[in-house]
Every structure is written in structure tokens, then in C-alpha cells.
Chain A
């Protein structure tokens, strides 16, 4: 520029006024520090959880991590107990959420008229917006006496099965919305090709669209699993607290998350620098790592689904 027209530049700078340039710099710095704050949050989470968890491990005898159940007050931190609880709840939740979520997604993406979609989709969104503690109350007061008890007579008032169904209900909207996005991203030309060969709608949906969207569908299931593992209040309300190790979904029990909530409240309330208090962070670390792996995996599948077409 300067070489091209020295006469103009001599008295007039194209870079604008100094005040304006300074303001631009300040704005950019402010915005950048906001972005840096998000990194700081992650750093704080990892630092907090890691430091306290390691100090917990240093304080206890490693044998205390194995025992007859999860009894932090008595110094028995049987990690397997809460892992098994998490596994039971998550498995039941996914057994509910996978077929219902995927079927809802297929209907919304392949069958529903635009008008129906506009009415039906908000229902899923409202279900997704219901606080989890409310679903917990629903599981305790409706699912257990109305569904679990009639099917299995010896079910406890607080049981893992009802909590699992509750978490499943909570996960349906997530599965449905991610899977629907994936199926809608499948180009219309694929469907037209299928119809051109004389395929029926069901064949087109299940044999053409579904396989084409499989990355996104897998992502939906992984993300929902991660959400189910991290779900807290449904389990804390409907399944009671973690106790003796159990494989029976009809028993009261707890997950990693509900163990944390119980540690922080009620009869198990523990404060100060005791091992029981620090076990909170140890469980938090386990939870953080498990969900992180699942989220990264799910994210990879989402991106693969996007790159395909």
C-alpha cells in the first residue's frame, strides 16, 4: 500500500485512529481472557480432584478399597460396590433409552410430517428439561410401587431397578436428538436411490438410512451412557444409599454419584480432613475419568458422522 501511493499515505494513515485501535486491542484482550477462563476451570477441576484423591490414597491402607461394601464411616471403601451399582443402573437405563430413543429418532427423521415434528419435538425437550430430582421422586413414588413391585414382589422400597428406569427415561431425549440429527444428515439422494430400487419405507429406514447414520447413532448411545453414569439425583432419591455389595437390582444400593451425595449429606455427613471426606474426591476422580473417556469417544464418532457427507 505504502509503496503504491506514497502521496496519500504521507498525511493519512489507513490504520485508523489511535483511540479506535486501542479499543480494539482492549476488546480482544478481554474476550481472550474469557476464553482462557474456561481452560482455568478445567485446570481447577483436575487439580482439585487429583490432589485430594491422591492424598486419600496416601492416607488409607489400600486394602480398605476392598471389602464387604461401601461404608466410609467405618473405613471400608469397597470401590467395586459402587462400580457395580453404577453398572446396574446404567445398563437398565440404556436398555430403556436405546430402543425408545432410537425409534423416536427414526420416527422424527423419516416418518413425521413437518407439522407433527413441530408439535412432538418440544415434548422431548420438555422431558429433557425436567430436573433429575423430580424424576427421582417419580421413580420412588410411581415406578417402584406401580411397575417394579408388581413385577418383582420382593423389591425394596428403595431399589436400583427403579433408579435405572428413571435414568433411562431421562436419557431418551438425548439419544433421540443426537440420533435424529445424524439421520437427518443422511442425504436425500440415498433414500431416493433406495426407493428407485423399489424398497419400502421400512427397508429404506432400516437398511439405508440407519447404516449410513451409524456413527452418529453410536455417538448418541455413548453420550447417553456417559450421561447415565453421571446422573446423580435419580439414584440418590430412588435407590437409597450404597451399602453392602449387591448384584441384585431389587436391593437398595448406590452408584459412584449417589455415594458422593450421601457422603456430603445425611447420616453419612463427613467434614474435615478425614479419609471419608477425601473419598468424595477419589470417587469424583473415577467418575471424571470414566465420563471423560466416553465423551471423547462419543465426540470422535460425532465428528466422523459429520465428515462422511
Chain B
């Protein structure tokens, strides 16, 4: 305030200072720090989680090296490995991709490119949004009473708890995600591209296949990869739909589709429940393998999306 009373040339600076508020906005700054701290909470959790798991897993990898990856399950924690889990997870991922991608993409194309805005279309849309919110254990029930029963009937010996039933269950689980992300990718393609196609006499399918799909491909791919990584981390539906919890022999290539199976998250669940401390370390090592796969998939998806983000 003393500045205002002083010589004339200083007045401009004083007015500017008074207007821009020399008074420090303590509340505002505290608020901003609080917000940032909340955001950093997620980062901290992520860091602690990864450091903790790595710390537990390192001795296992140091002791066993690649042996951990290539040995089968065992009730002896010093011998148990995740080989069957890696095979199971890989095959499940393949099955989900084969089943969910075409079905999801076809549904998305129908809803976005073909369907008129009828009551039926809206019913399908609402239904898909609700399916996306159904808890994953409930899909396990569906897998148990539809897919397992189906393969029971095919097999004849009541041995329907195969990897095919598990893969179908996971595919149905992520189908809504594939559909919703594909719809968003299709919707982002400007209408002018379609009109250009119709203008030169292309049919609806020709426009969709040759113009719309190539433009929407990165977005569709991103959604599919995200859905896949979600499927690979799912445990609950597999538990219900009969993946094996505990050690078993088998999962060789001869009985891959007809015998018992397991997956990495199932192994993590099984080992982390066991009382022996050695199995905790094994569980951490299995988590490292699982995270390597899912985070890799997620990373690819995020990268793909950031690259393909274009404005028309």
C-alpha cells in the first residue's frame, strides 16, 4: 500500500500488483496440492505393488531361472512352475480373439452402419451396455451351465471342463467391451467418407469394408487388445467354469482341448492362498509373468491409440 503513496512512476506497477493479487492464494494452492496428492496415490500404489512383487519374485527367478517358466505345477513349492499356466493363458487368449473379435466387430458394424433407429436396435444397445456391467463371476455361471454342459454332451464322458469351455466363457465376458470400443471407432469415421463412397456408386457393404473399416481399424484393434488383456487377467469366471485349481498332470498337446487346464491368474490365486511362505514367493513370480503379459498388451493398446488419434 505504501507504493501507491510514493512517486508517480511507480503507480502502474502498484496497480498491476494489486490487481493480480499479491496476496497468496493459500487455500487454492493447498487444494491443488491435495488434488495432485490424490493422483500420486495411484502412482504410489502402482510403484509399491510392482516393487513388492518384484522383490518377492526375484529370489525365485534367481534360483530357478527359466526353470520356473518351463516346469509344470507341483505341490512342492521349490519345484512348481507355471508352464501349464502360460500355455493355458496363451490358448485362452487365442480362443477369445477368435470368438469375440468377429462376433463383436460384426455386431458393432450392424449397429453403427446398418441398423435403423428402431425399438429393436435400442434394445440391443441397452442390452450390450448392461452386459458390460454384469459381474464376471456371473459369466462363470453362464460358462458352467451352457458351455461346460455343451462340451459335456459332446465329450460323452461328462468331462466338459475344458479349455474350450473356458475360452468361450471369457469370450462372452469381453464381447461387450469389443462391441462398445468398436462402435466408438466406427463412429469416429466422418460421414463424408461414407458419402464419398456412395457417391461413386458403392454399396453399403463396399463402403463399410473398403472405406470405413480401414479408417476405424486402429481404434478397433486397440479395443480388442484391451479386451484381450482384460480376459487374460480374469480369474473368477474360470474358477466357476471349472479350470483346475491346484496341481495336475497333463495339458500336453494331445489333450490340450479335451483335458484339464489352468491359467496364470488361477495359479496366482491358488498359490497365494497356501500357507507355505515359499508358495507366496512362487505366487509373486507368477504375478510377474502375468503382469508382463497383460501390461505388455495394455501398453501396445495405449500406444496404438495415441498414434492413431487423428482429427478429421
Binding site for B on A (CB under 8 A): 16, 20, 23-24, 27-28, 30-32, 34-39, 41-42, 44-45, 48-49, 52, 99-100, 103-104, 106-108, 111, 118, 120, 122-127, 129-138, 140-142, 169, 172-173, 200-202, 205, 223, 226-227, 229-233, 236-237, 257, 260-261, 264-266, 280-281, 284, 287-288, 291-292, 294-296, 298-299
Contact = CB atoms under 8 A, between A and B. Distances in A.
Given A103-B39, A202-B27, A257-B236, A134 B287 contact: yes
Contact of B107 (A38, A107, A132): A38
Q: List the 5 closest pairs (A to B, CB-CB), nearest first.
A: A230-B135, A131-B233, A103-B38, A34-B106, A295-B133
Specify which of A41, A100, A288 lies most central, judged by the most chain B CB atoms within 10 Å of its CB: A41
B42 A265 contact: no
A200 to B, nearest CB: 5
A293 B158 CA distance: 36
Given A34-B103, A38-B175, A111 B240 contact: no
A232 B102 CA distance: 29
Interface stretch (B74-82, B212-220, B291-299): B291-299
Interface string B76-120: 000000000000000000000000001100110111001100000
B185 interface: no
A37 B175 CA distance: 11
A261 B239 contact: yes
B49 A38 contact: no
Contacts of B269: 133, 136, 233, 236-237
Name the residue in B34, B134, B245, B290 with the highest tally of chain A Cβ atoms < 10 Å from its Cβ: B134
Contact of B109 (A31, A100, A129, A132): A31
Contacts, number: 250
B203 interface: yes
A137 to B, nearest CB: 5
Contact of A103 (B35, B102, B129): B35
Q: Contact residue range for chain B?
A: 35 or more
23 contacts: A23-B203, A28-B114, A34-B103, A38-B107, A41-B131, A41-B142, A44-B146, A99-B38, A103-B38, A104-B39, A111-B35, A118-B306, A126-B298, A131-B234, A134-B290, A137-B272, A202-B31, A229-B135, A237-B273, A261-B240, A264-B239, A287-B138, A295-B130
A236 B36 CA distance: 32
Contacts of B236: 132, 232-233, 236, 257, 260-261
Given A122-B302, A200-B25, A45 B239 contact: no
A104 B110 contact: no
A-side interface mostly: helix
Nearest to A100: B38
A125 to B, nearest CB: 6
B9 interface: no
B7 interface: no
B172 A41 contact: yes
B133 A257 contact: no
A35 B290 CA distance: 33
A237 B234 CA distance: 14
A135 B126 CA distance: 31
B142 A141 contact: no
A180 to B, nearest CB: 11
B295 to A, nearest CB: 7
Contacts of B294: 129-131
B309 to A, nearest CB: 10
Contacts of B103: 34, 37
